[in-house]
């Protein structure tokens, strides 16, 4: 039976699942990044998520907030390029929002995810349409908030967020990049999916999968 809430064990399973997904999709993410970036996003995400797992195993967190802080600090230190600081900030803000809560229902999790994304926006200064991970995150947050407002379960709310993130990822393909290394390409950046949006979709897919298990 799927949970009504998420607890520390489930969040740790999220990290485990994402590390596996990042490794499985390393070549895919790198191929996307080779078209408009440094060709290292897949390697960075796989290395960073593996480092998070190793850190959590070496020093098991006692709260979900502590897990977020550990994940965030590890990603900032272990991942190069812009992905480390951006994903690191996301998890640091997520952890701060969760604090000492023992369980997260759909509304509380949605608020924590939003706090994390606000950190990404503050750090990267990206807006909707800039062809960044924000283009996957913002529709995901909107879909989750709408699902929560309609009384959807945690599992259904996360499924809505996952689907919206995937659609947002795909919608970056025709965009011209206005932030990051891809912006140097100008019009030539159009026709390629943003790698950060792709990894965001994978991260939310992993969370939805863990919640539904």
| pLDDT classification of 3: cutoffs 50, 70, 90 | low
Write the DSSP symbol of residue 189.
G
Tell me the sheet residues that pair with 6.
Answer: 104
Query: According to the model, what pLDDT value does residue 175 have?
Result: 84
Query: According to the model, what pLDDT value does residue 24 have?
Result: 97
> Is residue 160 within 8 Å of 146, Cβ to Cβ?
yes
Q: Which two tokens stand for residue 177?
A: 């990049």
Residues in the chain: 213
- Read off the pLDDT of residues 128-141 as tens digits, 9 standing for 90 and up: 988 999 999 999 99
Tell me the sheet residues that pair with 104.
Answer: 6
What is the rounded distance in angstroms from the CA atom of residue 128 to the CA atom of residue 115? 17
What is the rounded distance in angstroms from the CA atom of residue 47 to the CA atom of residue 152? 35
- Read off the pLDDT of residues 44-65 as tens digits, 9 standing for 90 and up: 999 999 999 999 999 999 999 9
> Is residue 206 within 8 Å of 18, Cβ to Cβ?
yes
> Is residue 5 within 8 Å of 104, Cβ to Cβ?
yes
């Amino acid at each position: 039976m799927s949970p009504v809430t998420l607890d520390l064990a489930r969040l740790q399973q999220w990290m485990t699942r994402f590390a596996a997904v990042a490794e499985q999709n390393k070549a895919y993410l790198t191929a996307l990044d080779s078209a408009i970036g440094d060709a290292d996003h897949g390697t960075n995400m796989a290395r960073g998520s593996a480092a998070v797992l190793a850190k959590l195993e070496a020093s098991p967190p006692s709260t979900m907030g502590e897990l977020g802080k550990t994940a965030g600090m590890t990603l900032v230190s272990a991942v190069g390029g812009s992905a480390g600081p951006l994903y690191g900030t996301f998890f640091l803000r997520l952890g701060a929002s969760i604090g000492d809560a023992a369980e997260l229902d759909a509304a509380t999790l949605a608020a924590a995810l939003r706090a994390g994304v606000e950190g990404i926006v503050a750090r990267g200064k990206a807006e909707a349409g800039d062809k960044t991970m924000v283009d996957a995150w913002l529709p995901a947050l909107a879909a989750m908030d709408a699902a929560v407002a309609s009384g959807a379960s945690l599992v259904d709310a996360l499924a809505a967020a996952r689907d919206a993130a995937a659609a947002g990822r795909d919608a970056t393909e025709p965009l011209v990049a206005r932030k990051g290394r891809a912006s140097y390409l100008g019009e030539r950046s159009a026709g390629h999916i943003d790698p950060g949006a792709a990894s965001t979709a994978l991260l939310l897919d992993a969370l939805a999968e863990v919640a539904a298990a």
